[in-house]
Each structure stands twice: as C-alpha cells, then as structure tokens.
Amino acid sequence: MRETRVISSVPLSVLLTVIFAATGGYSLLRWASLRAGVAGHHGDRVAELSHLVMSVAMIAMVWAYGGPAGNVAQIVLFTVLAGYFLARLPVGRRGARLGGCPAPGFHLLMCASMVWMVAAMPLLMGGMPTGSAGGHMHGMPMGGADSAGQDGQPPAPTPAWAVVVTVAVSVALLAAAGYWLRRAVRTPARPEVPVGAEVQVDAEVPALIGGGEVRPAEPPARSARRAPSRVPAALTPRRDAVCHLAMSVGMAAMCLAML
C-alpha cells in the first residue's frame, strides 16, 4: 500500500475518482456490448479493455492503492498495450471503418502516458519511492500536498528532464482533450445506427481454445438478428468522444499534480 497520494485534496480526489469511475463504467459497457455482439457501431475490444484498466489504475493512483509489484505490472501491461496500438497505427482510419480501433494514435498516447506516470512517479515525487517505503510530494500545484520531506529530510530535487517530459506528456494529453472536445461537439447526437433498426449480431468470435483450431466466423442466421436495446444504443460516438475527453483531462490533471 502506497503511503502518499499524488493529490492530497480530498474533493479533487473525489472528483477525479468520479471521472475515472464514469470512464471505466462506460468502457466496461462498451467492451461488454462488443463481447455480446450487440454494439451498434465500430469498436475495438482491446481499446475498451485498456480504457477500463486505465481508469481503474488511475483511481488506484488517486488513492495511493497498490505497491511496487503493482507498478511493475502496470508498466508491463501498458507497454504491451502501447505495442498493440502502435501495430494498429498503419491500419488507421481504414481500420476504424472496418470495425477496428477508432483512434490507435490516441490510445498509444494514453498507454505511453500511463507508463511514464507510473515509472516516473518516484522521480517526480522527490526521489522517494511510492511503494511501501513511503514518499512525499515534491510540489502541489493541484492539491496542496505536504511538501515536507519524510523524516525531516529535504526532498530530493526532481531532474529537469523528468519535469520536461512530464510537461510534454501533459500538453499532449490536453491537446488530445481538445481534439476529443471538437469531436464531441461536431459528432451528431444520434447514433450511427438508429435505435430500433435491426442490428446484425456480430460474427462468432474465433475461440481462443478449441482443439487448436480457430473456427471461422459463422455467418449469422437471418433469425439471429437483434434489435438494439437501450444500453448499446446509448453508446454513441459522441459519448465515446466525451469519454475520451474526460479520460484525457483526468490523466493530464494527474500528470500535472505530480510536478
């Protein structure tokens, strides 16, 4: 269990928790709709899972829940996810039209930011580990955390390069937030697939396990069509953009709070 929090202000922590809980909940619904084959528009399960995990990880970071092993696991996980989104980059918009990840570049940025935040936290927070050994805040622009050193020791200075990288990451996240704000405003409120229209059930997912064979997707029978229910119909591109916007702003806030 970490002993110090990135943000000492409880109201701000609660606000960020609400934001990340909302983004996590939305991602869970998006992933579940894709998994259940009732998503009314394109999506990428990996992106939704990464959003979900990222939201949970950010809440854990807000409340200083976790430890050194959790940090290592996060770095490995988000590095792998960053590799996936990097591999999806060439597909780009064509992939999105075909039902792939709608914004691999953005998701790559988010994963890289997570890796940086988790890895650089000891550096940014006065050279003190944030694991069980405890630590303290180097600065408190976002929450007014205690800047006194542990055991009366003066805080170790944060390397300038680490500050520069953190600022750059924050700026990139804020720029992404601007992009998603624009998307949220410009995207029509109505879903791509109107509520009430027939939506084909997604093709059967190739099973991971099945005697070593990946069964080709079964063409959905005509009778196997489902009318979208309210939940998947509510997962509109505009709300996707708002979710991305909230995630970007929240992460930028956490990033800046570490300085």
Partner 1 sequence: MSDITASSTTSGTVSSNGSSTSSSTSSSTGLAPGALIDPDDLGLTETSLPTGSKVRTWWWRELRPLLLRVHFYAGLFVGPFLLVSALTGLLYTTTPQLEQLVHRDQLHVTAPAGAAALPLSQQINAASAVLPEGSISEIRPPIGPDGTTRVVFNAPGVPDGYFRTVFVDPYTAQVRDTLTTYGQWLPVRAWFDELHRTLFLGNVGRVYSELSASWLWVLTLSGLVIWVARRRRTRRLRRLLTPRLRGTGRGRLRSWHGAVGVWAAVGFLFLSATGLTWSQFAGNNVDTLRGALQWTTPSVHTTISASVLPDPPKGAELAEQAERALAVARAHGLTDPVRIAPPTKPGRAWVVIQVKRSWPEKQDSMAIDPTTGTVVDQLRFADWPLAAKLARWGVDAHMGLLFGLPSQIALAALAIGLICMITWGYRMWWLRRPTRLAESPRAGESPRALAPPGRRWSGLGAIALLGAVAVGVGLFLPVFGASLLVFLLIDAIRTEFASARA
Return residues touching partner 1 (CB under 8 A).
1, 24-25, 28-29, 31-33, 35-38, 44-46, 49, 52-53, 56, 60, 65, 67, 69-70, 73, 77, 80-81, 84, 88, 91, 95, 98-101, 201, 204-215, 217-218, 221, 223-232
The distance of closest approach from Cβ of residue 157 to partner 1 in the complex, given in angstroms and rounded to an integer, is 32
Phi, psi for residue 200 in degrees, rounded to 5: -70, 140
Q: Which is nearer to partner 1, 95 or 127 (CB)?
A: 95
Q: Which is nearer to partner 1, 171 or 227 (CB)?
A: 227
The distance of closest approach from Cβ of residue 231 to partner 1 in the complex, given in angstroms and rounded to an integer, is 5
The distance of closest approach from Cβ of residue 197 to partner 1 in the complex, given in angstroms and rounded to an integer, is 13
Q: Which is nearer to partner 1, 26 or 180 (CB)?
A: 26
The distance of closest approach from Cβ of residue 246 to partner 1 in the complex, given in angstroms and rounded to an integer, is 18
**At a CB cut-off of 8 Å and minimum separation 6, what does 221 contact?**
none
Q: Which is nearer to partner 1, 15 or 56 (CB)?
A: 56
